[in-house]
Structure 1
Amino acid sequence: MKTIIYLMRELSLVKISYYFFTILNQNSHEEVSIINKYNVDMNDKITLTITRRKFSEILIGIVSLFLASGVVATLLKYLWPPSVKATSSEVRIASVDEVPTGSARKFMFNGKASVLLKMPAGFRAFGSVCTHLGCVAYWKPDENDIFCPCHLGRFDPNTGAVISGPPPSPLPAIDIIVKEGAVYALKWKDPEYVRSISYYAGAA
């Protein structure tokens, strides 16, 4: 173990690889001397004499250690996945006066196209990426719904629920707050639901 630590400290991985292939081309009983100068101000030299077999054992040990570390890290990540924050920084969407009743304002939230609606009952906000095939839906005031032009999907502007068409699930809702005369997006109302939609990958 001391030898492995010493080699890792004194030699870069590039040097180790170079000498490894050099040793493989020599006889099994030949020895290789590795001379490493620390800097021009030092006169001492360190000479490491390692047989081909010993060097191979050390290198295999190092590789095995790295592989084992990767397996353990993957296992730990699977057993204890990193938590995902449900909250996000406030995102200013628009001033209250800019979105009169019956209108909408497009905006980006956590990297996804979204829409703010002003309904008679108040403001509503949803991710506007369609849950069918990922097209961007938009507000159609004349039909009072959120419409996806790709496959004619329609969503309820008050709840985000599917009204008609092929979308398999509702648009994800966004919690909002009105303060100081403006509307702000806070977080996804249901982060777990957002993570279940492939077209919203990385948004929650």
Structure 2
Amino acid sequence: MDENNKKIGRNKKDSNDDMINLVDNLNRQDDVKYNRRSFLKATVGASVTLGLATLPFSIKAMMDDGAKDVNRVEIAKLSDVPKGESFKFGYPTEDDMALLVHTKNGQLKAYNSKCTHLSCPVFYESTKDVLLCPCHKGYFNVSTGHPMAGPPQRELPLIELEVIDDVIYAVGRKIRHG
């Protein structure tokens, strides 16, 4: 065979320029080991593995009916807290100060009475029907516990109430965000 009729291999050009024959400088083993498809397979495999590892916890959370031990604490008699007044008590422990408010329109609301800004005590201001933190003039809505003015950004933890035979009980606490 003469030089003009020599057979050119697959993916090869009749040139010695490295930029034209780029396939020659690839190592097949490195190409298989470090390509995008292998990376994506490893990523998907790791995601599936982590998902399966958390599956038992997800199933337990779905099967939990939400029934917890009721931490029922007697606060006061309804007749002892007139409309437009408040009552201090401890919940869930005696050291966690809380505030029961019997609003002017007859609602019963209770919140932990530590301001969510710097933990100063919160008081019921009956003339304005708001909860007030006097340290930095923080105001909270008495119906929802959400901040209305001042530096507090988070709402007060809500204490769930029950009234049975003229007795007010604290039965749970919700720490809400949003």
State the match for 2:81 in structure 1. 99
| Among 108, 111, 119, the residue aligned to 2:90 | 108
Indicate the RMSD between aligned Cα atoms, in angstroms: 2.3
- The corresponding residue for 1:181 is 166
Match of residue 158 from structure 1? 143
Structure 1 unpaired stretches of 5+? 1-79, 197-204
Q: Which residue of 1 aligns with 2:6?
A: none
Choose between structure 1 and 2: higher helix proportion. Answer: 1
For the 8 Å contact 1:87–1:187, the answer to whether it is kept is: no
Would you identify which runs of 4 or more consecutive aligned residues in structure 1 move more than 2 Å?
A: 85-88
1:121 Cα shift?
A: 4.3
Query: Is the contact between residue 71 and residue 92 of structure 2 (CA under 8 Å) also seen in structure 1?
Result: no
Q: Could you say what secondary structure the match of 1:178 adopts?
A: strand
Q: Distance in 1 between matches of 2:158 and 2:139?
A: 15
Quick one: distance in 2 between partners of 1:86 and 1:147?
32
Q: In the alignment, what sits opposite 1:146?
A: 131
Percent of aligned pairs with the same amino acid? 30
Residues 86, 187 of structure 1: 8 Å contact kept: no
Amino acid at match of 1:137: V
Q: 1:86 to 1:149 in 2, by over 3 A?
A: farther
Q: CA deviation at 1:187?
A: 0.3
Matches of 1:177 and 1:168, distance apart in 2: 28
Paired residues for 1:55-134 under 5 Å = 87-111=69-93, 112-119=96-103, 120-134=105-119
1:114 deviation in Å?
0.6
1:170-204 deviation line (CA, Å, top 9, x unaligned) = 1111110000211000001x25x4xx8xxxxxxxx
User: Whose strand fraction is larger, Structure 1's or Structure 2's?
Assistant: 1
- Deviation of residue 94 (structure 1)? 0.6
> How many residues are treated as equivalent by the alignment?
112
Q: Kindly tell me: are residues 138 and 175 of structure 1, through their superposed partners in 2, closer, same or farther at Cα, counting changes over 3 Å?
A: same
Which residue is 1:58 aligned to? Answer: none
Correspondence for 2:154 among 156, 169, 175: 169
In structure 2, do the counterparts of structure 1 residues 125 and 169 end up closer, same or farther at CA, with 3 Å as the change threshold? same
| Distance in 1 of aligned mates of 2:76 and 2:118 | 28
Task: Pick closer, same or farther for the CA change 1:86–1:174 going to 2, 3 Å.
Answer: farther
Query: Which residue identity is paired with 2:82?
Result: P
Segments of structure 2 that go 5 or more residues without pairing to the other structure are: 1-56, 62-66
Q: TM-score, normalised by structure 2?
A: 0.57
Say which one has the larger Rg. 2
1:87 to 1:168, Cα distance in 2 relative to 1, 3 A: farther
